[in-house]
Amino acid sequence: MRLQLENMGAKSVLFLLIVAALVSVLVMVGGLLYQQPLRYADYEADRFGFPYYWIEHVTATFAGRTDFWNIAVWNFVVDFILFFAVGCVVFCLALVWKSKKG
């Protein structure tokens, strides 16, 4: 049995990509609620992000108290690509399932 996906127009594909991107951004923002504290003798920081941290708040170093934020851009890109790919797969499977039923 062949799937009938030829009737799926460019608007449907664009809608799928936009929804997958929005869902990936929402999951990434939700991943900021996951906090991984790092406590060493000369370094204290909190890392945020899931599965890869992409924001780090450093509160203490060997030189004393600090308050600065590091953003790991590469981890941000990897997280976005990961969640975008998962979102595309899920929504494509939903479209295939819908086309098989109807």
Q: What pLDDT digit, counting tens, does each position of 10-69 carry? A: 777 788 888 888 888 888 888 888 899 999 988 999 999 888 899 999 999 998 899 999
State the total domains in the chain: 1
- The answer to whether residue 84 is domain-embedded is yes
Domain that holds residue 50: 11-101
Helix (H, G, I), strand (E, B) or coil at 23: helix
Max distance between CA atoms of the chain, in angstroms, equals: 68
- The answer to whether residue 47 is domain-embedded is yes
The model's confidence at residue 8, banded by pLDDT at 50, 70 and 90, is low
- Per-residue confidence (pLDDT) for residue 70, from 0 to 100: 94
- What's the half-sphere exposure (Cβ side, CA atoms, 13 Å) at 62? 2
- The answer to whether residue 60 is domain-embedded is yes
- The answer to whether residue 25 is domain-embedded is yes
pTM of the predicted structure, to 2 decimals:
0.72
- The answer to whether residue 81 is domain-embedded is yes
